[in-house]
Protein backbone atom coordinates (compact mmCIF):
# COMPACT_ATOMS: atom_id res chain seq x y z
CA UNK A 1 0.00 0.00 0.00
CA UNK A 2 1.40 3.44 -0.95
CA UNK A 3 2.12 6.23 1.55
CA UNK A 4 -0.83 8.21 0.19
CA UNK A 5 -3.17 5.24 0.57
CA UNK A 6 -2.00 4.67 4.14
CA UNK A 7 -2.45 8.35 5.05
CA UNK A 8 -5.88 8.54 3.43
CA UNK A 9 -7.03 5.38 5.21
CA UNK A 10 -5.71 6.44 8.64
CA UNK A 11 -6.88 10.07 8.69
CA UNK A 12 -10.29 11.78 8.47
CA UNK A 13 -11.74 12.95 5.17
CA UNK A 14 -10.30 16.24 3.79
CA UNK A 15 -7.14 15.84 5.83
CA UNK A 16 -4.92 14.55 3.00
CA UNK A 17 -4.47 16.71 -0.11
CA UNK A 18 -3.12 15.17 -3.31
CA UNK A 19 -2.87 16.09 -6.99
CA UNK A 20 -0.79 18.71 -8.79
CA UNK A 21 -3.37 21.49 -8.72
CA UNK A 22 -4.45 20.85 -5.13
CA UNK A 23 -0.89 20.82 -3.78
CA UNK A 24 0.29 23.80 -5.85
CA UNK A 25 -0.37 26.36 -3.04
CA UNK A 26 2.14 24.43 -0.92
CA UNK A 27 4.97 24.23 -3.47
CA UNK A 28 6.98 27.06 -1.88
CA UNK A 29 7.06 29.47 1.03
CA UNK A 30 7.76 33.22 0.82
CA UNK A 31 10.92 32.47 -1.16
CA UNK A 32 8.97 31.72 -4.31
CA UNK A 33 11.91 31.33 -6.70
CA UNK A 34 12.30 27.73 -5.49
CA UNK A 35 9.28 25.49 -6.08
CA UNK A 36 8.59 21.78 -5.79
CA UNK A 37 5.30 19.93 -5.58
CA UNK A 38 5.13 17.46 -2.68
CA UNK A 39 3.86 13.90 -2.80
CA UNK A 40 0.98 14.95 -0.53
CA UNK A 41 -0.07 17.60 1.98
CA UNK A 42 -1.59 16.62 5.31
CA UNK A 43 -3.51 19.11 7.47
CA UNK A 44 -4.04 17.46 10.87
CA UNK A 45 -6.32 18.85 13.53
CA UNK A 46 -4.75 17.37 16.65
CA UNK A 47 -1.69 15.67 18.09
CA UNK A 48 -2.96 12.15 17.51
CA UNK A 49 -3.22 12.86 13.79
CA UNK A 50 0.30 14.36 13.74
CA UNK A 51 1.61 11.21 15.39
CA UNK A 52 -0.13 9.03 12.81
CA UNK A 53 1.44 11.02 9.95
CA UNK A 54 4.92 10.71 11.45
CA UNK A 55 4.41 7.00 12.10
CA UNK A 56 3.39 6.27 8.51
CA UNK A 57 6.15 8.40 7.02
CA UNK A 58 8.78 6.86 9.30
CA UNK A 59 7.76 3.31 8.35
CA UNK A 60 7.91 4.23 4.65
CA UNK A 61 11.13 6.26 4.91
CA UNK A 62 9.27 9.28 3.53
CA UNK A 63 10.61 12.77 4.32
CA UNK A 64 8.35 15.19 6.21
CA UNK A 65 8.44 18.96 5.76
CA UNK A 66 6.55 20.83 8.48
CA UNK A 67 4.83 24.02 7.33
CA UNK A 68 3.25 26.88 9.24
CA UNK A 69 1.73 29.88 7.45
CA UNK A 70 4.24 29.71 4.60
CA UNK A 71 5.53 33.26 5.15
CA UNK A 72 9.18 32.21 5.65
CA UNK A 73 11.76 33.83 3.37
CA UNK A 74 14.56 31.25 3.22
CA UNK A 75 12.84 28.22 1.68
CA UNK A 76 12.55 26.42 5.00
CA UNK A 77 9.10 25.08 4.11
CA UNK A 78 9.88 24.34 0.46
CA UNK A 79 8.81 20.73 -0.23
CA UNK A 80 11.15 18.01 -1.43
CA UNK A 81 10.31 15.67 -4.26
CA UNK A 82 8.44 12.70 -2.82
CA UNK A 83 7.92 14.31 0.60
CA UNK A 84 4.82 14.82 2.72
CA UNK A 85 4.10 18.40 3.79
CA UNK A 86 2.76 18.46 7.34
CA UNK A 87 0.77 21.68 7.56
CA UNK A 88 -0.12 22.92 11.04
CA UNK A 89 -2.46 25.72 9.98
CA UNK A 90 -5.50 24.03 11.56
CA UNK A 91 -3.98 23.97 15.05
CA UNK A 92 -5.17 27.44 16.01
CA UNK A 93 -6.35 27.12 19.60
CA UNK A 94 -5.26 29.51 22.30
CA UNK A 95 -5.36 26.85 25.00
CA UNK A 96 -5.04 29.04 28.08
CA UNK A 97 -4.07 32.52 29.27
CA UNK A 98 -2.43 33.10 32.65
CA UNK A 99 -2.62 36.86 33.07
CA UNK A 100 -1.13 36.75 36.57
CA UNK A 101 2.03 34.94 35.46
CA UNK A 102 1.98 36.66 32.04
CA UNK A 103 1.98 33.53 29.90
CA UNK A 104 -0.28 31.93 27.33
CA UNK A 105 -0.30 28.39 25.94
CA UNK A 106 -1.07 28.25 22.23
CA UNK A 107 -1.04 25.81 19.34
CA UNK A 108 1.54 26.34 16.57
CA UNK A 109 -0.96 27.56 13.96
CA UNK A 110 -2.00 30.62 16.01
CA UNK A 111 -1.09 33.84 14.22
CA UNK A 112 1.48 36.06 15.91
CA UNK A 113 -0.85 39.07 16.12
CA UNK A 114 -3.76 36.91 17.34
CA UNK A 115 -1.91 36.34 20.61
CA UNK A 116 -1.76 40.06 21.34
CA UNK A 117 -5.40 40.45 20.35
CA UNK A 118 -6.40 37.65 22.75
CA UNK A 119 -4.62 39.15 25.78
CA UNK A 120 -5.35 42.83 25.13
CA UNK A 121 -8.08 42.85 27.78
CA UNK A 122 -5.38 42.13 30.39
CA UNK A 123 -3.24 45.04 29.16
CA UNK A 124 -0.69 42.52 27.88
CA UNK A 125 0.78 41.70 24.47
CA UNK A 126 3.26 39.36 22.77
CA UNK A 127 6.38 41.43 22.09
CA UNK A 128 8.11 39.88 19.01
CA UNK A 129 6.51 41.50 15.96
CA UNK A 130 7.91 40.43 12.59
CA UNK A 131 6.56 42.50 9.71
CA UNK A 132 4.45 39.52 8.65
CA UNK A 133 2.83 39.27 12.10
CA UNK A 134 -0.68 39.63 10.70
CA UNK A 135 -0.19 36.31 8.86
CA UNK A 136 2.78 34.39 10.26
CA UNK A 137 2.18 31.65 12.83
CA UNK A 138 3.85 31.26 16.20
CA UNK A 139 5.12 27.78 15.31
CA UNK A 140 6.95 29.21 12.32
CA UNK A 141 8.27 32.03 14.51
CA UNK A 142 9.84 29.46 16.82
CA UNK A 143 11.22 27.44 13.90
CA UNK A 144 12.99 30.50 12.47
CA UNK A 145 13.58 32.39 15.76
CA UNK A 146 11.83 35.42 14.29
CA UNK A 147 12.44 38.94 15.51
CA UNK A 148 10.80 42.20 14.49
CA UNK A 149 11.19 45.92 14.95
CA UNK A 150 11.03 45.68 18.75
CA UNK A 151 13.58 42.89 19.22
CA UNK A 152 16.32 45.27 20.44
CA UNK A 153 14.64 45.74 23.82
CA UNK A 154 12.30 42.76 24.04
CA UNK A 155 14.33 40.08 22.31
CA UNK A 156 13.81 37.55 19.56
CA UNK A 157 11.35 34.67 19.80
CA UNK A 158 13.82 32.62 21.88
CA UNK A 159 13.70 35.22 24.67
CA UNK A 160 9.90 35.16 24.71
CA UNK A 161 9.18 31.43 24.86
CA UNK A 162 8.77 29.65 28.20
CA UNK A 163 8.14 26.09 26.99
CA UNK A 164 7.61 24.04 23.85
CA UNK A 165 6.06 20.62 23.32
CA UNK A 166 7.37 18.65 20.36
CA UNK A 167 6.89 15.23 18.81
CA UNK A 168 10.00 13.53 17.51
CA UNK A 169 10.08 11.50 14.31
CA UNK A 170 9.78 8.39 16.53
CA UNK A 171 6.53 9.66 18.02
CA UNK A 172 7.99 10.60 21.40
CA UNK A 173 6.46 13.65 23.08
CA UNK A 174 8.96 16.01 24.73
CA UNK A 175 8.41 19.07 26.91
CA UNK A 176 11.26 21.57 26.64
CA UNK A 177 10.99 24.23 29.34
CA UNK A 178 12.88 27.24 30.57
CA UNK A 179 12.53 25.70 34.04
CA UNK A 180 14.81 22.86 32.94
CA UNK A 181 18.29 24.02 33.94
CA UNK A 182 20.03 21.13 32.20
CA UNK A 183 21.02 21.03 28.53
CA UNK A 184 19.02 24.05 27.42
CA UNK A 185 17.10 22.22 24.70
CA UNK A 186 14.43 24.94 24.64
CA UNK A 187 16.91 27.38 23.10
CA UNK A 188 18.08 24.68 20.68
CA UNK A 189 14.57 24.24 19.33
CA UNK A 190 14.23 27.96 18.57
CA UNK A 191 15.64 28.39 15.08
CA UNK A 192 15.88 24.63 14.43
CA UNK A 193 13.87 25.05 11.19
CA UNK A 194 11.85 21.85 11.52
CA UNK A 195 14.90 19.58 11.54
CA UNK A 196 14.54 18.20 15.07
CA UNK A 197 10.85 17.73 15.83
CA UNK A 198 7.29 18.87 15.16
CA UNK A 199 6.13 21.67 17.46
CA UNK A 200 2.67 21.00 18.88
CA UNK A 201 2.30 23.49 21.75
CA UNK A 202 4.04 26.70 22.79
CA UNK A 203 4.01 28.62 26.07
CA UNK A 204 4.73 32.26 25.26
CA UNK A 205 5.81 35.02 27.60
CA UNK A 206 3.49 38.02 27.65
CA UNK A 207 4.65 41.59 28.21
CA UNK A 208 2.89 44.37 30.08
CA UNK A 209 1.87 47.23 27.84
CA UNK A 210 4.05 50.27 28.56
CA UNK A 211 2.62 53.34 30.23
CA UNK A 212 3.84 55.52 27.36
CA UNK A 213 5.44 54.98 23.95
CA UNK A 214 6.90 57.73 21.77
CA UNK A 215 8.40 57.34 18.32
CA UNK A 216 11.00 59.77 16.95
CA UNK A 217 11.24 59.93 13.15
CA UNK A 218 14.44 61.63 11.98
CA UNK A 219 15.68 62.24 8.43
CA UNK A 220 19.38 62.59 7.57
CA UNK A 221 21.30 63.92 4.59
CA UNK A 222 23.64 60.90 4.61
CA UNK A 223 23.49 57.24 5.57
CA UNK A 224 26.70 57.66 7.59
CA UNK A 225 25.20 60.42 9.75
CA UNK A 226 22.18 58.22 10.41
CA UNK A 227 24.34 55.20 11.29
CA UNK A 228 26.48 57.34 13.59
CA UNK A 229 23.32 58.51 15.37
CA UNK A 230 22.45 54.86 16.09
CA UNK A 231 25.87 54.39 17.68
CA UNK A 232 25.49 57.54 19.78
CA UNK A 233 22.10 56.47 21.14
CA UNK A 234 23.42 53.05 22.19
CA UNK A 235 26.61 54.59 23.60
CA UNK A 236 24.50 56.90 25.78
CA UNK A 237 23.04 53.86 27.54
CA UNK A 238 19.59 54.27 26.05
CA UNK A 239 17.83 51.06 24.98
CA UNK A 240 15.02 51.98 22.60
CA UNK A 241 12.18 49.53 22.15
CA UNK A 242 12.76 49.91 18.41
CA UNK A 243 15.60 51.40 16.38
CA UNK A 244 15.18 51.09 12.61
CA UNK A 245 16.95 52.53 9.57
CA UNK A 246 15.81 52.91 5.96
CA UNK A 247 17.69 54.28 2.96
CA UNK A 248 16.30 56.76 0.42
CA UNK A 249 14.96 54.12 -1.94
CA UNK A 250 13.05 52.40 0.87
CA UNK A 251 11.80 55.74 2.23
CA UNK A 252 10.33 56.78 -1.11
CA UNK A 253 8.74 53.37 -1.76
CA UNK A 254 7.17 53.16 1.71
CA UNK A 255 5.84 56.70 1.55
CA UNK A 256 4.21 56.06 -1.83
CA UNK A 257 2.66 52.83 -0.54
CA UNK A 258 1.59 53.56 3.07
CA UNK A 259 1.70 57.40 3.26
CA UNK A 260 3.18 57.58 6.78
CA UNK A 261 4.59 61.09 6.25
CA UNK A 262 8.23 60.10 5.70
CA UNK A 263 10.67 62.82 4.55
CA UNK A 264 11.25 61.74 0.93
CA UNK A 265 14.09 64.26 0.49
CA UNK A 266 16.17 62.46 3.17
CA UNK A 267 18.98 60.05 2.25
CA UNK A 268 18.33 57.96 5.36
CA UNK A 269 15.58 57.66 7.97
CA UNK A 270 15.84 56.64 11.61
CA UNK A 271 12.86 55.45 13.63
CA UNK A 272 13.61 55.43 17.36
CA UNK A 273 10.89 54.34 19.75
CA UNK A 274 11.07 54.75 23.51
CA UNK A 275 8.60 53.12 25.87
CA UNK A 276 8.09 52.49 29.57
CA UNK A 277 7.18 54.65 32.55
CA UNK A 278 6.19 58.17 31.52
CA UNK A 279 8.99 60.00 33.37
CA UNK A 280 11.64 57.63 31.94
CA UNK A 281 10.34 58.02 28.39
CA UNK A 282 10.31 61.83 28.67
CA UNK A 283 13.88 61.83 30.05
CA UNK A 284 15.22 59.51 27.34
CA UNK A 285 13.30 61.31 24.62
CA UNK A 286 14.96 64.62 25.47
CA UNK A 287 18.37 62.95 25.40
CA UNK A 288 17.68 61.28 22.04
CA UNK A 289 16.59 64.59 20.51
CA UNK A 290 19.92 66.10 21.61
CA UNK A 291 21.85 63.20 20.10
CA UNK A 292 20.07 63.61 16.75
CA UNK A 293 21.66 67.01 16.18
CA UNK A 294 22.67 66.15 12.60
CA UNK A 295 19.14 65.25 11.57
CA UNK A 296 17.74 67.42 8.79
CA UNK A 297 14.16 66.77 9.89
CA UNK A 298 12.49 65.37 12.97
CA UNK A 299 8.99 64.48 14.12
CA UNK A 300 7.81 62.96 17.37
CA UNK A 301 4.57 60.98 17.44
CA UNK A 302 1.86 63.06 19.08
CA UNK A 303 -0.55 60.22 19.75
CA UNK A 304 -0.93 56.46 19.42
CA UNK A 305 -2.43 56.62 15.93
CA UNK A 306 0.51 58.61 14.64
CA UNK A 307 3.02 56.26 16.28
CA UNK A 308 1.39 53.29 14.57
CA UNK A 309 1.32 55.16 11.26
CA UNK A 310 5.07 55.80 11.44
CA UNK A 311 5.59 52.08 12.06
CA UNK A 312 3.19 51.16 9.27
CA UNK A 313 5.59 52.64 6.74
CA UNK A 314 8.49 50.52 7.99
CA UNK A 315 6.43 47.33 8.26
CA UNK A 316 5.08 47.90 4.75
CA UNK A 317 8.53 48.21 3.21
CA UNK A 318 8.57 44.75 1.62
CA UNK A 319 5.26 45.06 -0.28
CA UNK A 320 6.11 48.69 -1.07
CA UNK A 321 9.32 47.61 -2.81
CA UNK A 322 7.50 44.70 -4.42
CA UNK A 323 5.34 47.11 -6.43
CA UNK A 324 8.41 48.57 -8.17
CA UNK A 325 9.82 45.46 -9.79
CA UNK A 326 8.63 42.13 -11.24
CA UNK A 327 10.58 40.36 -8.46
CA UNK A 328 12.66 41.12 -5.40
CA UNK A 329 15.00 39.08 -3.27
CA UNK A 330 14.94 39.81 0.46
CA UNK A 331 18.29 39.22 2.15
CA UNK A 332 18.93 38.72 5.86
CA UNK A 333 22.31 39.13 7.53
CA UNK A 334 23.68 40.58 10.75
CA UNK A 335 26.70 42.82 11.35
CA UNK A 336 28.29 44.63 14.32
CA UNK A 337 26.60 48.03 14.59
CA UNK A 338 29.88 49.91 14.25
CA UNK A 339 30.16 48.71 10.64
CA UNK A 340 26.69 49.87 9.53
CA UNK A 341 27.82 52.81 7.40
CA UNK A 342 30.73 50.98 5.77
CA UNK A 343 28.65 47.90 4.94
CA UNK A 344 25.85 49.97 3.42
CA UNK A 345 28.41 51.78 1.31
CA UNK A 346 29.80 48.49 0.07
CA UNK A 347 26.29 47.18 -0.68
CA UNK A 348 25.79 50.32 -2.78
CA UNK A 349 29.02 49.55 -4.65
CA UNK A 350 27.84 45.97 -5.25
CA UNK A 351 24.55 47.34 -6.56
CA UNK A 352 26.46 49.31 -9.20
CA UNK A 353 28.68 46.32 -9.98
CA UNK A 354 25.73 43.97 -10.56
CA UNK A 355 23.56 46.70 -12.09
CA UNK A 356 20.70 45.74 -9.80
CA UNK A 357 18.82 48.19 -7.59
CA UNK A 358 18.70 47.51 -3.87
CA UNK A 359 16.66 49.04 -1.05
CA UNK A 360 17.91 48.78 2.53
CA UNK A 361 15.68 48.40 5.58
CA UNK A 362 17.05 46.96 8.78
CA UNK A 363 16.96 46.64 12.53
CA UNK A 364 19.73 49.13 13.22
CA UNK A 365 19.76 48.48 16.95
CA UNK A 366 20.99 44.89 16.57
CA UNK A 367 22.63 45.18 13.15
CA UNK A 368 20.16 42.93 11.33
CA UNK A 369 20.22 43.96 7.64
CA UNK A 370 17.42 43.33 5.15
CA UNK A 371 18.63 44.46 1.72
CA UNK A 372 15.95 43.99 -0.95
CA UNK A 373 17.43 43.30 -4.38
CA UNK A 374 15.15 44.13 -7.31
CA UNK A 375 15.34 41.92 -10.40
CA UNK A 376 13.32 40.37 -13.20
CA UNK A 377 13.26 36.57 -13.22
CA UNK A 378 11.99 36.72 -16.79
CA UNK A 379 15.35 37.98 -18.00
CA UNK A 380 17.80 35.13 -18.68
CA UNK A 381 20.53 34.94 -16.04
CA UNK A 382 19.15 37.70 -13.83
CA UNK A 383 18.07 35.40 -11.00
CA UNK A 384 21.53 33.83 -10.93
CA UNK A 385 23.10 37.29 -10.89
CA UNK A 386 20.82 38.29 -8.03
CA UNK A 387 21.81 35.19 -6.06
CA UNK A 388 25.49 36.04 -6.58
CA UNK A 389 24.80 39.58 -5.35
CA UNK A 390 23.08 38.17 -2.28
CA UNK A 391 25.96 35.79 -1.57
CA UNK A 392 28.42 38.70 -1.74
CA UNK A 393 26.32 40.55 0.85
CA UNK A 394 26.41 37.53 3.15
CA UNK A 395 30.18 37.15 2.68
CA UNK A 396 30.51 40.83 3.57
CA UNK A 397 28.54 40.24 6.78
CA UNK A 398 30.92 37.40 7.72
CA UNK A 399 34.02 39.47 6.89
CA UNK A 400 33.07 42.23 9.33
CA UNK A 401 32.34 39.74 12.13
CA UNK A 402 28.63 39.19 11.58
CA UNK A 403 26.37 36.31 10.60
CA UNK A 404 24.57 35.09 7.49
CA UNK A 405 21.17 35.33 9.17
CA UNK A 406 19.46 37.28 11.89
CA UNK A 407 15.91 35.97 11.84
CA UNK A 408 14.96 34.49 8.45
CA UNK A 409 16.87 31.25 8.96
CA UNK A 410 19.03 29.29 6.52
CA UNK A 411 16.52 27.00 4.78
CA UNK A 412 17.76 26.19 1.30
CA UNK A 413 18.64 29.79 0.47
CA UNK A 414 21.80 30.06 2.58
CA UNK A 415 23.17 26.50 2.48
CA UNK A 416 26.28 27.58 0.57
CA UNK A 417 26.72 30.60 2.83
CA UNK A 418 26.87 28.20 5.80
CA UNK A 419 30.03 26.75 4.23
CA UNK A 420 31.60 30.21 4.42
CA UNK A 421 30.59 30.86 8.02
CA UNK A 422 31.39 27.48 9.63
CA UNK A 423 34.29 25.07 9.38
CA UNK A 424 34.00 21.29 9.04
CA UNK A 425 34.26 20.61 12.79
CA UNK A 426 31.46 23.07 13.55
CA UNK A 427 29.22 21.68 10.81
CA UNK A 428 29.89 18.17 12.09
CA UNK A 429 28.44 19.20 15.48
CA UNK A 430 25.25 20.33 13.71
CA UNK A 431 25.04 16.96 11.98
CA UNK A 432 25.49 15.12 15.27
CA UNK A 433 22.66 17.11 16.87
CA UNK A 434 20.44 16.33 13.90
CA UNK A 435 21.28 12.61 14.13
CA UNK A 436 20.45 12.55 17.86
CA UNK A 437 16.88 13.75 17.21
CA UNK A 438 16.31 12.36 13.72
CA UNK A 439 18.74 9.49 12.98
CA UNK A 440 17.31 8.73 9.52
CA UNK A 441 17.10 12.40 8.46
CA UNK A 442 13.40 12.38 7.64
CA UNK A 443 12.50 15.79 9.10
CA UNK A 444 13.04 18.59 6.59
CA UNK A 445 16.16 17.07 5.00
CA UNK A 446 18.20 19.25 2.67
CA UNK A 447 17.71 22.37 4.80
CA UNK A 448 19.76 24.60 7.11
CA UNK A 449 22.95 22.51 7.41
CA UNK A 450 24.96 21.57 4.29
CA UNK A 451 26.79 18.28 3.94
CA UNK A 452 30.52 18.51 4.34
CA UNK A 453 30.82 17.18 0.79
CA UNK A 454 28.84 20.18 -0.47
CA UNK A 455 31.20 22.60 1.25
CA UNK A 456 34.22 20.67 -0.05
CA UNK A 457 32.88 20.97 -3.59
CA UNK A 458 32.64 24.72 -3.10
CA UNK A 459 36.32 24.68 -2.14
CA UNK A 460 35.57 25.91 1.36
CA UNK A 461 37.08 23.05 3.37
CA UNK A 462 38.94 19.78 3.23
CA UNK A 463 36.73 16.90 4.36
CA UNK A 464 38.45 14.35 6.59
CA UNK A 465 36.95 10.87 6.84
CA UNK A 466 36.48 11.29 10.59
CA UNK A 467 34.29 14.36 10.01
CA UNK A 468 31.84 12.74 7.62
CA UNK A 469 28.27 12.85 8.91
CA UNK A 470 26.12 9.82 9.61
CA UNK A 471 25.46 8.09 6.23
CA UNK A 472 21.76 8.87 6.44
CA UNK A 473 22.56 12.56 6.72
CA UNK A 474 23.69 12.62 3.11
CA UNK A 475 20.07 13.62 2.54
CA UNK A 476 20.96 17.08 3.82
> Does residue 468 or residue 277 have the better pLDDT?
277
pLDDT of residue 461: 53
pLDDT of residue 460: 63
The residues near 404 (Cβ < 8 Å, ≥ 6 apart) are 333, 394, 397, 398, 410, 414, 417, 418, 420, 421
How large is the average pLDDT for residues 76-99?
A: 97
pLDDT bin (cut points 50, 70, 90) of residue 37 is: very high
- E strands present in 206-303: 207-208, 212-220, 242-247, 268-276, 297-300
**How far is residue 474's CA from residue 179's CA, in Å, rounded to a whole number?**
35
> Does residue 467 or residue 93 have the better pLDDT?
93
Indicate the domain borders of the chain: 3-87, 94-208, 212-315, 321-458
The domain 3-87 is classified under which CATH number: 3.40.50.410, 3.40.50.1000, 3.40.190.10, 3.30.43.10?
Answer: 3.30.43.10
What number does CATH give the domain 321-458?
A: 3.30.70.2740
Report pTM.
0.93
Q: Pairing mode, if any, of strands 84-87 and 40-42?
A: parallel
pLDDT of residue 453: 87
pLDDT bin (cut points 50, 70, 90) of residue 457 is: confident
Helix (H/G/I), strand (E/B), else coil: 140: helix
| Topology match between the domains 212-315 and 321-458 | yes
pLDDT of residue 459: 75
* pLDDT higher than threshold 70 for residue 190: yes
* pLDDT higher than threshold 60 for residue 410: yes
* pLDDT higher than threshold 70 for residue 470: no
pLDDT of residue 471: 33
Tell me phi and psi for residue 87, to 5 degrees: -90, 130
Q: Any idea which architecture 212-315 has in CATH?
A: 2-Layer Sandwich (3.30)
pLDDT of residue 302: 96
What number does CATH give the domain 94-208?
A: 3.30.465.10
**How far is residue 275's CA from residue 162's CA, in Å, rounded to a whole number?**
24
Amino acid sequence: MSVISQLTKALPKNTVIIGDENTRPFECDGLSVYKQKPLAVVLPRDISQIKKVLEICRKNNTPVVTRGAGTGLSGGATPLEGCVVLGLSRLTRIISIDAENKTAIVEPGVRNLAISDAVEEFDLYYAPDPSSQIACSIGGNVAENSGGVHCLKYGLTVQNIEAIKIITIDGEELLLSRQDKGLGLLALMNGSEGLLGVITEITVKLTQKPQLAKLVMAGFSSVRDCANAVAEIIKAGIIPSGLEMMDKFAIEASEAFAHPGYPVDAEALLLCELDGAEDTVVHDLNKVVELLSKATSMRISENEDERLLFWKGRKSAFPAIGRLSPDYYCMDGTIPKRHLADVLEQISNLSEQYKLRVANVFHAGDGNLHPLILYDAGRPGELEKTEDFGMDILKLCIEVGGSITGEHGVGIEKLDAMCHQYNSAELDVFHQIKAAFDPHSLLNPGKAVPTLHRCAELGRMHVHHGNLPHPELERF
